[in-house]
Structure 1
């Protein structure tokens, strides 16, 4: 995706993807919109190939750094898709705690990487998306 002064709309972002990548990203995008309709989607600039963000939250890291980040993020990388679910509390990160239930995926603390839509347990992922909305972001994770 070429860099521009203003990020594209979500529709423009989806249209810019290759057809095979577009189908999977659109399916997950629709699932997220249905699960958390109050979280307005936007295209985050400066995220490599681009990313659709849903909602925002304020964070403060252990080092004292503060900022604003997307609550949920969806990206179509070259090798895999990434679903970022920024949720957690004192017990840890939601994605990391539920990694075994998410399917044939690779998980980080708040990121789910998958190669095909069939590899992702979409029902479990959407339950975590819903939890992220309820939690309002990552809070007090050590």
Structure 2
């Protein structure tokens, strides 16, 4: 089965989440305008890159990912600075969200500060994929 295009992904989002997803998508594109959009593993990604570990494992990931889950929205930020995942450094500024190492989850965009999300996305885009793998590799939580 082939992946959807970014437009098809957005069109397929549940009507109840669509306005939040479209607003978040616009925020990402404004804060990180140079990042290419792709769909990877049912996630709308921005800034795709290939990674390779010293042990030889390699794959594809995206610097920023957006997923509309059943109960929440997920913003994945695969960027680490000085050994710390960027998303977790913003956790205290996003009290309406649940933030892990590389993922920020929230039930509604109204529950989080959009300016803080914009700053997080811009910060990740400024560092780029060279730092995206983080200390534990892409997608590690």
Shorter chain as normaliser: what TM range? 0.7 to 0.9
Q: Does 1:135 align with 2:131?
A: no
The two structures, once aligned, show a CA RMSD in angstroms of: 1.9
- Please say if residues 10 and 22 of structure 2, whose CA atoms lie closer than 8 Å, have aligned partners that are also in contact: yes
1:10 equivalent among 3, 6, 15:
6
Number of residue equivalences: 134
* Counterpart Cα distance in 2 of 1:29 and 1:109: 21
TM-score calculated relative to the size of structure 1: 0.84
Which segments of 5 or more consecutive residues in structure 1 lack a partner in the other structure?
none
- Residue 18 of structure 2 aligns to a residue whose secondary structure is helix
Alignment of 1:50-65 (within 5 A): 50-61=42-53, 65=57
* Counterpart Cα distance in 2 of 1:93 and 1:63: 22
- Please say if residues 89 and 139 of structure 1, whose CA atoms lie closer than 8 Å, have aligned partners that are also in contact: no
Alignment of 1:30-69 (within 5 A): 30-44=26-40, 47=41, 50-61=42-53, 65-69=57-61
1:112-142 residue CA offsets vs partner (Å, 9 max, x unmatched): 0000111122211111111111212325626
- Residue 95 of structure 1 aligns to a residue whose secondary structure is helix
TM-score calculated relative to the size of structure 2: 0.84
Which segments of 5 or more consecutive residues in structure 2 lack a partner in the other structure?
137-141
* Counterpart Cα distance in 2 of 1:89 and 1:61: 18
Name the residue aligned to 1:104. Answer: 96
- Please say if residues 90 and 139 of structure 1, whose CA atoms lie closer than 8 Å, have aligned partners that are also in contact: no
1:43-83 residue CA offsets vs partner (Å, 9 max, x unmatched): 21xx3xx2100012343457653332100000000111100
